[in-house]
Structure 1
């Protein structure tokens, strides 16, 4: 009768015994870890652990599988070992950190075949636009506007130049005509019965136009006979204050025509009056530019 085989723990080689002991220790640590996770409140469902909003798969700590004894114990029976525990994965949910924002979803790429809103499709059958089309008409319009502005500028410059020239000529005419009026008034408005022809000739030299002919006719038919009959004498002077200029001023002026107002004293002597008679007169004298200078073209007593 054969003896039953008994398991001797110390049988086997030292390396095999060490490997078996390490496997048992790893199995016990794994069991303790799983027990702690259950009591900690973690919820496992089908190998998934939920700790936050995001599920992250994780793996259990690998359990060291003890090496199977291929030999026999001292009595020839196969060595016993812990059964192999298949690895099972698990999922751990991790909370995102504070301030974390999910990245925006990428917008779909536009379809190249679709027409853009700012580029409306041209109607069918319309002629294709050639490069540079429409540029020449614009250039022509710009050139026309530029030419118009240039012409307007030249006209404005010409008008301003004419006004400036007329202003300069008018200013010169004022001074020249005023001096001529102060000189002509005593000659035209004076005469002496003793030398009428000489006085009338001097006066005619200061006159021009129709007024010259009218003066010639009046002096010949009226003034000369009366002065000779009554021995009349008239002496005219432009009023001037002591140490001042003669009382004469320009009423209106143009480059070729100036009107002057003068204050004239006339002293008249004749057989018809007793002693000299003084007349204070205001005379408006018009002077015109001629080839011989400024000449009197009209005289009006005011």
Structure 2
């Protein structure tokens, strides 16, 4: 009887093991939690860095465009201001009358700045003044103007920046003195360099062409 009970228990245990073995293939296996690889983990960081660089480049490009626009605007203003200053300075610098030289020279110096200011002062005192007094010289200079009521004076901007400009002017100079029997008209070209100063645009160089 004992042997029969033992065999029955053994058979039951074997049946249970077979039943468990038959169920295991159908049971879902536990899926391990996905872990980010080094490649996928670094992608969001690189994307953020790229976006940051693009933002910086956009800001720099906008700043550069703004700076160029302001520089172009300042240059345009400088061209107009320097040309106006040259129109006023040229007749004063190139004219004089022996009867009131000190007044004429002072008026001219108001349009000048160094290094031309010092050069003009020395030349007028050592050369122009003695000669003008000796021969009663009078020179009246004007910016040439083509025929026509609407014609602009013959002057143009050669180059310009916000702080410096070079102007080309065509000048008429009418001279009278004891050395000439009739007034003499000279047609001259001058290149005038002007710089921006706290007192306005001043002539820093003048060359006859």
Taking structure 2 as the reference length, what is the TM-score of the superposition? 0.80
| CA distance in 1 between partners of 2:37 and 2:85 (Å) | 72
Structure 2 unaligned segments of length 5 or more: list them.
1-31
- Deviation per CA, 1:248-283: give whole Å up to 9, x if none: 111111111111111100011111111111100011
Residue equivalent to 1:295:
202
Pick from 50, 57, 61 the counterpart of residue 145 of structure 1.
50
- Deviation per CA, 1:55-85: give whole Å up to 9, x if none: xxxxxxxxxxxxxxxxxxxxxxxxxxxxxxx
| CA distance in 2 between partners of 1:255 and 1:222 (Å) | 35
Pick from 219, 222, 229 the counterpart of residue 124 of structure 2.
219
| CA distance in 2 between partners of 1:174 and 1:133 (Å) | 64
**Structure 1 residue 133 displacement after superposition:** 3.3
**Structure 1 residue 129 displacement after superposition:** 9.2
Residue equivalent to 1:281:
188
| CA distance in 2 between partners of 1:218 and 1:209 (Å) | 14
Residue equivalent to 1:260:
167
The reply to whether residue 269 of structure 1 matches residue 173 of structure 2 is no
Residue equivalent to 2:110:
205
Q: How many residues of Structure 1 are paired with residues of Structure 2 in the alignment?
A: 176
| CA distance in 2 between partners of 1:167 and 1:143 (Å) | 36
Structure 1 unaligned segments of length 5 or more: list them.
1-127
Residue equivalent to 2:37:
133
- Deviation per CA, 1:221-258: give whole Å up to 9, x if none: 11111111111111101111231221111111111111
Pair 1:240–1:141, CA change in 2 (3 A): same
Runs of 4+ in 1 over 3 A off after TM superposition: none
Q: Point out which structure has higher relative CO (alpha carbons under 8 A, 6+ apart).
A: 2
Pick from 136, 142, 145 the counterpart of residue 240 of structure 1.
145
Residue equivalent to 1:166:
71
| CA distance in 1 between partners of 2:141 and 2:75 (Å) | 29
Which structure has more helix as a fraction of its residues? 2
| CA distance in 1 between partners of 2:101 and 2:41 (Å) | 84
Residue equivalent to 1:109:
none
SS at match of 2:115: helix
**Structure 1 residue 139 displacement after superposition:** 1.4
